[in-house]
Structure 1
Amino acid sequence: MCQLFETIKIVGGEPQNLVLHDERMNRSRLKLLGMKDILKLSDFIAVPDNAKEGIVRCRITYGRSFVSAEFSSYSPANILTLKLVEAGTLVYDHKYLDRSRLNALIDKNAADDILIIRNGCITDASYANIVFSDDRRQVTSDTPLLCGTMRELLLRNGVIKEERITVDDLHRFTHFKLINAMLGFDAPWLPLKNLISNVV
């Protein structure tokens, strides 16, 4: 059975950005499983008392219906460097529970995480979308592996733009940052030199 998941940020007991999580979940259920009924995460998330303070991660596992909700404390990983890795055949266009092909690309001895290249185009880090800045504008690649909910929110609100970004385009930018449901847009901007760019 195909299992997928959503990671929901809980702040002060309140789930964040549920509309976009609902949209992605129901798109995946329709495309992969043929399920036309509409599920709402708000019907399934019951935040326990011990998760109502601070920032908490909620992982919802689902398939044809909801499977489980798990709550855990959250502190962001200290990701400072990314190694560019070519993965031309990798497909991760839905938030599959099985991340083994993604995880197999990571080499912690080379960098803190990876930046995945597919057919010469920038896609994502292993667990986040990426935004680049040239000190005038903030752009994300139009070829992501997975369309993240924070990426979608920032695009809809006009905070970032999307465009085709290839490896050869990287020199046009000065900084980058990672974004996802948990990080929001709050991760630090990192200098472009923190990309280890000899693609393997």
Structure 2
Amino acid sequence: MSRTLCFETICCENRQLKNLSYHEARLNRTRHELWGFSDHWKLSELIIMPDSVDNSLHKCRLSYNDEIEVIKWEPYSPRTIRKIQRVYDDTVDYRYKYDDRDELNTLFAQRKDADEILIIKNGLVTDSFYCNVAFYNGDAWYTPNSPLLPGTQRAFLLESEKITEERISEDDLRNFSKIKLFNAMVDWENAVELGMESIV
């Protein structure tokens, strides 16, 4: 039976898979909510790390539906982000980490000369193309409570109280001085941090 394909991108450093429990929780929630499965996959038992993976930063990409489709490993290099273009779409839906990213690709194509996008949906700030985001108001960091996809690094940062969830409208952006972009491959300490003037 053909099913929509979803995936997880897991950070591997020093041959250790990071935040695996968060990926496992999202994967099993996706399998239950999208396809009705009630069994629980344990990723630590399903992922076999090849000998070719060394201690440097690697990306483990696991595609799945009712079964694991493929697991790919590749060295990871962070992207350079200097400028962020606001884009608007009131219907974009990426609640699950779908392999099909056509909607997001269409928005990314609107970035003009920017390196990244900030997606505004129904007046609310959501995510960038690859990352969840957080904003600094001089005292603390806040992440939108309206992400397109609640990421695993985001879940970890919320649980560790490094960021706080809050409703953030496009108009609220004027109240912040900095933005950070982070995801499973980019932890808080290494996240791109820019002044708000980088958002156009």
TM-score (norm 1): 0.95
Q: Post-superposition, which runs of at least 4 consecutive aligned residues in structure 1 deviate over 6 A?
A: none
Equivalent in 61, 64, 67 of residue 63 of structure 2: 61
Q: Which residue of structure 2 lines up, in the alignment, with residue 177 of structure 1? A: 180
Q: Which residue of structure 1 lines up, in the alignment, with residue 16 of structure 2? A: 14
Q: Measure, in 2, the Cα distance between the counterparts of 1:38 and 1:65.
A: 12
In structure 1, stretches of 5+ residues that fail to align are none
Q: Does 1:128 align with 2:140?
A: no
Q: Which residue of structure 2 lines up, in the alignment, with residue 97 of structure 1? A: 99
Q: Measure, in 1, the Cα distance between the counterparts of 2:71 and 2:46.
A: 8
**Count of aligned residue pairs for this structure pair:** 196
Return the letter of the residue paired with 2:87: V
Q: Does 1:193 align with 2:200?
A: no
Q: Which residue of structure 2 lines up, in the alignment, with residue 151 of structure 1? A: 154
Residue deviations 1:120-176, cap 9 Å, x none? Answer: 000000111001001210000000000000000000111100100001000100000
Deviation at 1:67, TM superposition (A): 1.4
Identity of aligned residues (%): 38
Return the letter of the residue paired with 1:132: F
In structure 2, stretches of 5+ residues that fail to align are none
Q: Measure, in 2, the Cα distance between the counterparts of 1:108 and 1:141.
A: 21
Q: Measure, in 1, the Cα distance between the counterparts of 2:49 and 2:167.
A: 39
Q: Check whether the contact 2:85–2:111 (CA below 8 A) recurs between aligned residues.
A: no
Residue deviations 1:24-81, cap 9 Å, x none? Answer: 0001000101111001111221111221321100000010121111000100111121
Q: Check whether the contact 2:83–2:114 (CA below 8 A) recurs between aligned residues.
A: yes
Q: Check whether the contact 1:14–1:52 (CA below 8 A) recurs between aligned residues.
A: no
Deviation at 1:109, TM superposition (A): 2.8
Q: Measure, in 2, the Cα distance between the counterparts of 1:188 and 1:109.
A: 20
Q: Which residue of structure 2 lines up, in the alignment, with residue 168 of structure 1? A: 171
Q: Measure, in 2, the Cα distance between the counterparts of 1:144 and 1:99.
A: 16
Q: Which residue of structure 1 lines up, in the alignment, with residue 39 of structure 2? A: 37
Q: Measure, in 2, the Cα distance between the counterparts of 1:159 and 1:54.
A: 26
Q: Which residue of structure 2 lines up, in the alignment, with residue 110 of structure 1? A: 113
Q: Measure, in 1, the Cα distance between the counterparts of 2:91 and 2:112.
A: 24
Deviation at 1:108, TM superposition (A): 4.5
Superposition RMSD in Å: 0.9
